[in-house]
Amino acid sequence: MSTSTDTSKLDQARELMQGFAERTGLANDSGDAARRYLWTDAFATLNFLALKRIDNDKAFEARALRTIKEVHCHLGQYAEKDSRDGWISGLEGEKAREHPTVGGLRIGKKMLERQEDERYDQNLEWERDGQYYHYHTRWINALLTASKHFDNEQLATWAAELSIAGSRFIADKEGAGTKMYWKMSVDLSRPLVPMMGAHDPLEGLLCAMQAYDETGSFKYEFDGYIEKLKELCARSHWATDDALGVGSLLLNVVRATELQAFMELPPAVKPERLLRDAEQGLESIYRSFDANESARYRLAFRECGLSLGLRCLKGNLAFLKENAVEPQIDSPIWQMAEDIEAFWLDEQNQQAPTFQNHLDINEVSLAASILAQAKPEIYTRV
């Protein structure tokens, strides 16, 4: 299933991940181990596992495990400046360390969450902490992949407990039916953004079904949660022209294809449906894509999310075909992945404020796109 990847690009991916590890205290004690951000760390974990499979160097496994440990230690507890302390779960001591995800995980934003008596500011909310549902799903995928890689059941249990914590993002509103929130407070007691992420029900359902299948645990909790997610998916639409959103859809095409082989998926999340919506988005993005547009007007992590999806879909074409899922994507659209990587590997473009201001997530996302060409299964299949 692997495809060839230019050796120099793999070297650059290693350098990107080395820089990230040093800055965030994963490579040594001089970095800032508290510099944790759930989305970035989810892909960093997968990147380290991909590098282990490429280089057969166990040092990358150690970094993946350290990333998991640091994420749970820092994002499973209240922030240092928060008036509350201890584990978000409310558990203490060894019990808390045994169940670090049961209360969910913080985003990792530097600003504390908005208080109940503070006015909502849409722009400022992006900078505030809390819990994001779609970040949960990224971490669940990382834990499930790591669980299989290390043959470690505890990692799968943590994924399942985090998945169930996501049920607190869903509420039944009288007269409005089942509603889902995009962002919740750190303790999951109240919504901070009273709207639903475009693909949150889809991501949540696939994660919940897989986590339950992997562990066979928490049947009562998963049964009710999965039914609510199915209801939300049934009245949702996945088509988008957002690059990061389309990239995520492409990853889920592969995940849904694998899950469909041994469980029944509802019509709204069948791989053929996801692929149709993703192809529509790809065509829209391609029509406006300018490979030479200035870095000042571009966000690397969003573009690399798209190129990651393209790399993973292409790397799994044989698997998809075996399961009667056949993408109809023209060659120029596939080429966008190469163009995006080449643009952001250019040192001059990396000096742009749009890259430097989000350095960790940009470098990790770029490395993921490169590594996915060699090990696409790490990012899509468990």
What digits encode the pLDDT tens for the residues 319-368?
999 999 999 999 999 999 999 999 999 999 999 999 999 999 999 999 99
Could you read off the pLDDT of 272-301 as tens digits, one per residue? Answer: 999 999 999 999 999 999 999 999 999 999
Nearest residue to 202 (alpha-carbon basis) of 311, 278, 126, 103: 278
Residue 89 three-state SS: coil
- pTM value > 0.85: yes
- pLDDT beyond 50 at 13: yes
In 101-242, where does DSSP find H-type helix? 122-125, 133-150, 153-165, 200-215, 219-234
Contact 243, 302 (CB under 8 A): yes
- Tokens 């669940």 locate to 140
- As beta bridge partners, residue 111 has 128
- The pLDDT-based confidence of 1 (bands split at 50, 70, 90) is very low
Q: What percent of the chain has pLDDT over 70?
A: 98
The pLDDT value recorded for residue 176 is 72
**In a 10 Å sphere around its CB, with 0-12 CB exposed, 13-18 middle and 19+ buried, how is residue 43 labelled?**
buried
- As beta bridge partners, residue 87 has 77
- The pLDDT-based confidence of 382 (bands split at 50, 70, 90) is low
Could you read off the pLDDT of 141-178 as tens digits, one per residue? Answer: 999 999 999 999 999 999 999 999 999 999 987 667 89
Could you read off the pLDDT of 41-63 as tens digits, one per residue? Answer: 999 999 999 999 999 999 999 99
Contact 241, 284 (CB under 8 A): yes
